[in-house]
Amino acid sequence: MEKTQEIIKSTDLISDLRYQISNQIGAKSLLACIQCGVCSSSCTVSEYIDLQPHRVVACLLLGLKDKILNSNAIWYCSLCHRCTERCPKNVDYSFILALLRNMAVKEGHIPPEYEITINSLLEHGFTVPYAGMLKKSIDRNREKFNLPEIVTPNLEEIEFIVKETGLKKILEDAKKGKKKEVKT
Ligand code: SF4
Ligand code: SF4
């Protein structure tokens, strides 16, 4: 089948995108990329992502923000750090990817799984369900292994943190339908 060529308009480019990321603490290394592709050949999830690590970096340097935020690459990364360890130019790609996740969420690209996790944290203080039968089973097993009881987190403190970091507003906006599509 003939491959269709993607046409990118100059108006789609965000000229300072590279600086929006590289100016953040720990991300300056982005500008050193030589597009060797070592990160992509090392990536443990490369077969599942629609944009390989070196291409994400290229898109960042070119200013193709939508292409990155609409890619599943930022969510499928397992943060194994192999790309970072092997990069000949010390580009901290796995850290940069974490910054891209933050950017995506702030702009309303929230994967449903993450939304469920945050709501669980707000409601119960745990990112995984710890209630009902599951709680009973966990408690029983902990007792069997002489492990201390799980202390119920302070929900008010969690709510304070979620509010202060702006996450609460992001979730409220998402509920009001301001959420964007996320490819996962
Ligand atoms: S390994 Fe490093 S220098 Fe090579 S393409 Fe990836 S980020 Fe760029
Ligand atoms: S940290 Fe993410 S992008 Fe880097 S090699 Fe691991 S899975 Fe791939």
Domains and CATH numbers, the chain: 12-106 (1.10.1060.10), 112-178 (no CATH)
**Residue 36 to residue 55: CA distance in whole angstroms:** 10
- Ligand 1, closest atom to CA 93? 7
- What distance in angstroms lies between residue 149's CA and the mean position of ligand 2's atoms? 35
* Token output for 46: 């490369």
Ligand 1 neighbour 122 (Cβ under 6 A): no
**68 half-sphere exposure, CB direction, 13 A CA radius:** 31
**pLDDT confidence of residue 178:** 61
What are φ and ψ of residue 63, in 5° steps?
A: 95, 25
- Ligand 2, closest atom to CA 78? 7
Render pLDDT for 116-169 as a digit per residue (tens, 0 to 9). 888 889 888 998 888 889 999 999 999 999 999 999 899 999 999 999 988 888
- What distance in angstroms lies between residue 166's CA and the mean position of ligand 2's atoms? 27
Q: Please report which confidence band the pLDDT of residue 2 belongs to, taking 50, 70 and 90 as the band edges.
A: low
- Ligand 2, closest atom to CA 42? 5
- What distance in angstroms lies between residue 96's CA and the mean position of ligand 2's atoms? 11
* Token output for 17: 């995108």
Q: For residue 46, give the DSSP letter.
A: T
**Residue 46 to residue 17: CA distance in whole angstroms:** 24
On whether the CB atoms of residues 24 and 60 are closer than 8 A, the answer is no
Ligand 1 neighbour 91 (Cβ under 6 A): yes
Q: State if pTM tops 0.85.
A: no
Q: For a pLDDT cut of 70, what percent of the chain falls above it?
A: 94
